[in-house]
Amino acid sequence: MASDNRTTEHTQSVDGRTALVTGASAGIGRATALALAAKGADVALLARSTEELSSLAGEIDSRYPGDALAVECDVQNPGRVEEAIETTVEEFDGLDIVVCNTGTTGAGFEDRLEQQSLDDYHQVVETNINGTFYTTSAALPYLREANGNIIFVGSSAGKLPRPGNPVYAASKWWMRGFALSVEAHVGRDGVAVTLLNPTAVRTDMWRDKLDRGQAAEPEEVAAQVINAAEQPPHSTLSEIDLFRRDMLGTFVPEEIDLSIPFDRNGDDR
């Protein structure tokens, strides 16, 4: 399939650029890799599940103009992350776009935070926080050379308090602080940093609990990754909240009437 992407004064095509997607074997990462390849990017696919990666690489190579490279990589291992990025740079002669997408909610806990095991806590921290740091740190020298983009897949759970799984939520609050700070750190070097915060997305993360229509589809998140990567070189889409219209209402009980914000006799509530 030929690509029809063009760079204009107001956009920067991803056609011909090199992208690297962590957590590419499933869900949002898989959809993002396909969307980038459909737009003509060469894509390095990182995750631990080698069979899924090989099959995705085969699909990309047979359907799209860009090439795919499957690279086994556990983001908890900083040496392996560095090697995976170097392999990508050698294969495609540079690196322009990095999507830090890998994430886990952990097994969670039945009812109370104190039931979460230490092992589970470490899984979430080492994947979502350490993995994000290792990937960013190893990729930035190449992104500086390319005036590239780094796009973090955060979460609405990293912006708003919510009752479930505080450790996962806090890892996403960390990611938000990191992404916005890195944006300030590398902006003058020409690197664009985007934080993308979806509400629920229908992926394996929900273990079949969501039917189509109850959450966003991974392709909607992928479309926003493309949107961020296609900004012209002087601009950054700093933060994108991809919220379902019906989801944020859950933070306010339905019986509370928000239609009158204050008492007109001056007695503010």
Ligand X SMILES: NC(=O)c1ccc[n+]([C@@H]2O[C@H](COP(=O)([O-])OP(=O)(O)OC[C@H]3O[C@@H](n4cnc5c(N)ncnc54)[C@H](OP(=O)(O)O)[C@@H]3O)[C@@H](O)[C@H]2O)c1
| Enzyme catalytic residues | 168, 172
Nearer to ligand X, 140 or 153 (CB): 153
Binding residue for ligand X, selected from 74, 91, 217, 241, defined by CB under 6 A: 74
Distance from C-alpha of 44 to C-alpha of 142, rounded to nearest angstrom: 14
Site for ligand X in 83-122 (CB under 6 A): 101-104
The residue (of 127 and 224) whose beta carbon lies closer to ligand X is 127
* Identity of the residue, 12 or 88, whose beta carbon is nearer to ligand X in the bound complex: 88
* Binding status of residue 148 toward ligand X by CB under 6 A: no
Q: How far is the CB of 88 from ligand X (least distance, A)?
A: 15
Burial 36-46 (b: 16+ CB within 10 A, else e): bbbbbbbbbbb
C-beta separation of 33 from 68 below 8 A: yes
Based on the shown chain and the rule CB under 6 A, indicate whether residue 159 belongs to the binding site for ligand X: no
Q: Does 198 bind ligand X (CB under 6 A)?
A: yes
**Burial tier of 48 (Cβ tally within 10 Å: 0-12, 13-18, 19+):** middle
* 201 binds ligand X per the rule CB under 6 A: yes
Per-residue tokens: 247: 């989801």
Q: Judge residue 268's burial from the number of C-beta atoms within 10 Å of its C-beta, 0-12 exposed, 13-18 middle, 19 or more buried.
A: exposed
Strands 42-47 and 239-242: unpaired
Q: How many residues bind ligand X (CB under 6 A)?
A: 27
- Give min distance, CB of 28 to ligand X, in A: 4
Task: Report the SS3 class of residue 184.
Answer: helix
- Contacting residues toward ligand X, per CB under 6 A: 23-29, 47-49, 73-76, 101-104, 127, 153, 155, 198, 200-201, 203-205
